[in-house]
Amino acid sequence: MMHNHRRRLFTPARAIVLFAALIGGAQALAEEAILVQSTTSTQNSGLYDHILPQFTAKTGIQVNVVAVGTGQAIKNAQNGDGDVLLVHAKSAEEKFVEEGYGVARFDVMYNDFVIVGPDADPAGLSNTEDAAAALAELAASGSVFASRGDNSGTHKKELALWQASGVDPANASGGWYRETGSGMGATLNTAVGMGAYSLTDRATWINFKNKGDYRILVEGDPRLFNQYGIILVDPARHPNVKVDAGQAFIDWVLGPEGQAAIASYQVDGQQLFYPNYEGPWPPK
């Protein structure tokens, strides 16, 4: 009888197979892929969108970037959730390598931090180039300051500057010192929203689209130097690290092509990052 042999398009077995494909597979894993744990400042600035396609075109290796605060990026890499670490907190990076989580650390590039604030500059910070003095002045004026408060590279830099200024902002937490606990962009949004001063890396600032009437007030202090480093997560600690692909990425970033790619990234005619790897190549 015909209807006994009727083919059913939708059987339970087929539904299960289809569903399994939906939740599990079906990911385009055509080429090899590595995971880079990095910072919001590099991603929000658009740097990766500029340089990664060049690397992938040359090697066929896909680079996936998880952009979080430096503190969280380091923590994730310590858990083995990533192949390469590219962040900006030199002492924390060196500790990461010393403790056996990373193979070796190399300088990649730098730019600088700036203190931004409302155009009217009620605390009068724009008179000085000394970042620590500016912060001391800000504290004395009682103007509001928006801090990352998230253990990121920028946050660590900010805390170092406070220490140099002789002011302990922790006492004013919740008062004029506001810790957002968020990424750079979110913190800038908050700062603009409440008329607060803030410390930001220049790349994020240039690329930030919600500036309002804000401008750079303090820049040029050598203490505002912002160095980025790159580290291969140690395969001895986490055997699933993709050593070859990860190392290929590091070699490329530190090599002439990668360094040139970083130097060529501009927003509004301004260069955002300055490559500064100076060791032997390929890096050891």
Partner 1 sequence: MQDFGSAFGLAFGLVLSLDPELLEIVLLSLRVSLSAVVIACLVGFPLGALIAITRFRGRSAVLVLMNALMGLPPVVVGLAIYLLLSNAGPLGWLRLLYTPTAMILAQAVLITPIIAALSRELIEQLHDEYAEQFQSLCLSPLQSVRALLWDARYGLLTVALAGFGRAIAEVGAVIIVGGNIANLTRVMTTAIALETSKGELALALALGMVLISIALGINAAVMSLRLTASRHAFA
Give residues in contact with partner 1 (CB under 8 A): 19, 22-24, 27, 35, 40, 43-44, 49, 64-67, 76, 78-81, 182-186, 188-189, 207-211, 238, 240
By C-beta, is 208 or 277 nearer to partner 1? 208
- How far is residue 113's CA from residue 217's CA, in Å, rounded to a whole number? 11
Which parts of 5-116 fold into alpha helices (H)? 12-23, 40-44, 47-59, 70-78, 90-98
3-state secondary structure of 175: coil
CB of 22 to partner 1, least distance (A): 5
Torsion sign, CA atoms 259, 274, 281, 93 = negative
By C-beta, is 33 or 160 nearer to partner 1? 33
By C-beta, is 65 or 136 nearer to partner 1? 65
- How far is residue 193's CA from residue 252's CA, in Å, rounded to a whole number? 40
By C-beta, is 143 or 182 nearer to partner 1? 182
Give burial (CB, 10 Å; 0-12/13-18/19+) of 125: buried
CB of 185 to partner 1, least distance (A): 3
Give burial (CB, 10 Å; 0-12/13-18/19+) of 29: exposed
CB of 23 to partner 1, least distance (A): 5
CB of 146 to partner 1, least distance (A): 14
By C-beta, is 31 or 168 nearer to partner 1? 31
CB of 63 to partner 1, least distance (A): 10
